[in-house]
Amino acid sequence: MGRKIGAGALLLLAAFMLLGFIRSGAALGAPSTLFALLMTVALPVAVSVAVWRGAVGINSKGRMEQLRRQTIEAEILRLAMQQQGRLTVVEVTAALALSGEEAKRALDELERREVAELDFTEDGVLYYTFHDAKYFKGDAKRRELSDGGA
């Protein structure tokens, strides 16, 4: 609400300044007049529109939620590397202290973005395969062996 009031106040200020320029009789072709018009009318209008649309200022709730999702996804990928690239919802729930629904939602999002693939065991257990994480650990071991053997 405060953002909308601020945007409205800036628009009112810009309108007041424009009215002052119109009534002043100043030559609009002069560079100094154009610069003053730009600074006192156009700039407040641009800032007002940006504030109104939410481009200026931080939507802290949305930003915090985005940061939380990214942290959860990073922890899931770290866990997948530890588990040779295969995770179940229960493993993610236990390791990250998430609800089952939240863990499934995060895993499904990674699957939707093709970071993971969904599969079933012969017993019907649902699991997610992270191919990059599966092979990352093997590559790290090979690098250690090649560095240590050189």
| Tens of pLDDT, residues 41-52 | 888 888 888 887
* Cα 140 from chain centre: 30
- Tell whether pTM > 0.85: no
- Digitized pLDDT (tens) for each residue of the chain, 150 residues in all: 677 788 888 889 889 888 888 888 887 778 888 888 888 888 888 888 888 777 555 567 778 888 999 999 999 999 999 888 899 999 999 999 999 999 999 999 999 999 999 999 888 889 999 888 777 655 445 445 445 544
State how far the Cα of 134 lies from the Cα of 62, in Å rounded to an integer: 32
